[in-house]
Amino acid sequence: MSPAINGVGPAEALDYKSALEILQNEYPERDGIDVQTLVDSKLNGGLTYNDFLILPGYIGFPANEVNLETPVTKRISLKTPFLSSPMDTVTEHEMAIYIALLGGLGVIHHNCSPDEQAEMVRKVKRFENGFILDPVCIPPTMTVGEVKALRQKCGYGGFPVTESGSLNSKLIGIITNRDIQFHNKHDDTVTTVMSKDLVTARRGISLEDANDLVRSSKKGKLPIVDENGNLTALVSRSDLMKNLNYPLASKLPDSKQLISAAAIGTRPEDKIRLQKLVDAGLDIVILDSSQGNSMYQIEMIKFIKETYPGLDVIGGNVVTREQAAGLIAAGADGLRIGMGSGSACITQEVMAVGRPQAAAVFNVTSFAARFGVPCIADGGIQNVGHIVKGLALGASTVMMGGLLAGTTESPGESFVSREGQLVKAYRGMGSIDAMEDKKAAGGGKDSKASNAGTARYFSEGDRLLVAQGVSGSVLDRGSITKFVPYLMAGVQHSLQDIGCTSLTEMRGNVLEGKVRFELRTASAQLEGNVHGLHSYDKKLYS
């Protein structure tokens, strides 16, 4: 009998080379538990993201080869699974543009007038990376004094001068800081000082060629004109560094334009709003309701599918199979899952209705997958790990509010909190603040009657508003042009650990029982977080 190796194991140690053989022959069940056992709520109670972990697999490929392409509707796929919430502190055109450039999708909120929302959709569709499509133009009659004042207001000093003073009118000159800086005759018109010696480029020029021309011409601005000399856009030297290539940008096949998505409610007047959004070029509409399984939403989905066959419609929110079935049968091209898990949400506390998010995601996605309907895991995402867990439980994409509200691209400015930290405002759409917002559609004096918040929570017309969300702030995070690539790299590394080369492979392997899970006790959750340190900095990426 051979001695125990290092005192461990049976006295007669097995040949180590047979480890894989023995694993295969004597352990028919993989280590850990399968997804069905994990989510079976009769055993475990409603599961949340923090209640479990995914067990590691085998790494046989580099992380940067992990493919994150994923469908957001039956017809449209994205290169990364990240969506920003239709909330008025999260997604307006700037967020929608930059998250789409990074391969995700921003859903423009509807707590604004239909015209304002349509204008934001138009900005997303018209966006061409590097080209300023709405430059501030001035008329030849403007005085030097007025230009100086305009410069103060805009914070920059180069303005194209056009015949009518607006875009799409004949370009006659350009006025720069240098032209007006030492010109003290404030009543002179700009024509006396503007440069007429212009280097221009014709509409249709590629960004690369335009950038080359900006460099070689040594001018600060390159006006882009049509065949009649009318100004259509501008390229600025100071933006050269920002004119990066975005290879993952979300575009439909054969289109140069970014994909645009926006939210609406299910009231009759939302049909008028939708027409404006469609005219502006909308690709995907999300029906924004905290409880999507309603006669209003089913009727709206049918109406949209009949009236706009080219428009994809995402229904929701849902958390059960039964809710999902109604919307799938009505024709939804995608579903949004989550009720009460949002970071600014008090729905579960106030309404006693909702579902822990991990349980909701698995139960809905496993049903919707049978009909090829992709699902969004919406709300409760606090870190990269939560994103991966939502995706492992069957979601095709994840939607984030609080995590993106602190970025530069969300609406509003950062401010210093009472504690001295740089923060940005973030509020639930069911908070009293958002529901009372006078900017709301058709707002006027009685805005309670019709705004996105009240509509989402079926509170329109109520004498007393019952809040389902809170209003607060989140830490400033800097630009999503850094944050989203961090999320992406984090998800790729996580899938590498799990041993899957793509989201599609992970979803398949979860359902086949090859990707395994482990429940976490309360003490396991403590163990899995930083513990025992006197103090620490939690810097997430650099």
Nearer to ligand IMP, 160 or 469 (CB): 469
Nearer to ligand IMP, 341 or 450 (CB): 341
Active site residue 456: yes
Cis peptide before 317 (omega within 30 of 0): yes
Q: How far is the CB of 292 from ligand IMP (least distance, A)?
A: 11
Active site residue 154: no
Number of H helices, E strands in the chain: 20, 20
Q: What is the largest CA-CA distance in the chain?
A: 106
Query: Annotated binding residue at 41?
Result: no
Query: Annotated binding residue at 426?
Result: yes
Query: Annotated binding residue at 490?
Result: no
Nearer to ligand IMP, 213 or 351 (CB): 351
Question: 298 vs 109, 311, 367, CA distance in Å?
Answer: 21, 16, 18
How far apart are the C-alpha atoms of 322 and 333, rounded to whole Å? 17
Nearer to ligand IMP, 328 or 404 (CB): 404
Q: 271 phi and psi, to 5 degrees?
A: -70, -35
Query: Annotated binding residue at 406?
Result: no
Query: Annotated binding residue at 468?
Result: yes
- 265 Cβ partners below 8 Å, 6+ apart? 110, 287, 288, 289, 452, 455, 456
Q: How far is the CB of 62 from ligand IMP (least distance, A)?
A: 30
Alpha helices, DSSP H only, in 352-401?
A: 357-368, 384-392
Nearer to ligand IMP, 317 or 494 (CB): 317
**DSSP letter at 129?**
T
Nearer to ligand IMP, 471 or 501 (CB): 471
Half-sphere exposure of 472 (CA within 13 A, CB side): 9
**DSSP letter at 528?**
T
Query: Annotated binding residue at 294?
Result: no
Six-digit token string for 533: 């340190």
Nearer to ligand IMP, 93 or 122 (CB): 93
Q: How far is the CB of 520 from ligand IMP (least distance, A)?
A: 20
Q: How far is the CB of 363 from ligand IMP (least distance, A)?
A: 17
Burial 212-248 (b: 16+ CB within 10 A, else e): ebbeeeebbbbbbbeeeebbbbbbbbebeeebeebeb
Q: How far is the CB of 317 from ligand IMP (least distance, A)?
A: 6
Which residue in the shown chain puts its C-beta closest to ligand IMP? 469
User: Which H helix or E strand runs over 144?
Assistant: helix 144-154
How far apart are the C-alpha atoms of 214 and 444, rounded to whole Å? 47
Q: How far is the CB of 195 from ligand IMP (least distance, A)?
A: 49
Query: Annotated binding residue at 289?
Result: yes
Q: How far is the CB of 451 from ligand IMP (least distance, A)?
A: 13
Query: Annotated binding residue at 181?
Result: no
Q: How far is the CB of 338 from ligand IMP (least distance, A)?
A: 5
Reduced DSSP (H G I as helix, E B as strand, rest coil) percent helix, strand, coil of the chain, to 5? 35, 20, 45
Q: 17 phi and psi, to 5 degrees?
A: -65, -15
How far apart are the C-alpha atoms of 311 and 295, rounded to whole Å? 21
**DSSP letter at 312?**
E
Determine which one of 345, 355, 375, 477 is catalytic: 345
Q: How far is the CB of 332 from ligand IMP (least distance, A)?
A: 16
Query: Annotated binding residue at 479?
Result: no
The residue ranges that bind ligand IMP (CB under 6 A) are: 85, 87, 317, 338, 342-345, 347, 378-381, 399-403, 428-431, 468-469
Determine which one of 122, 336, 355, 456 is catalytic: 456
Nearer to ligand IMP, 172 or 261 (CB): 261
Query: Annotated binding residue at 315?
Result: no
CB 343 within 8 A of CB 402: yes
CB 300 within 8 A of CB 273: no
Query: Annotated binding residue at 430?
Result: yes
In a 3-state reduction of DSSP, which class is residue 485?
helix
Burial 452-479 (b: 16+ CB within 10 A, else e): bbbbbbebbeeeebebbbbebbbebbee
Nearer to ligand IMP, 288 or 333 (CB): 288
How far apart are the C-alpha atoms of 427 and 36, rounded to whole Å? 35
Per the annotation, where are the binding residues? Answer: 288-290, 338-340, 342-343, 345, 378-380, 401-402, 426-430, 468, 523
Per the annotation, where are the binding residues for K(+)? Answer: 340, 342, 345, 523
Per the annotation, where are the binding residues for NAD(+)? Answer: 288-290, 338-340
Active site residues: 345, 456
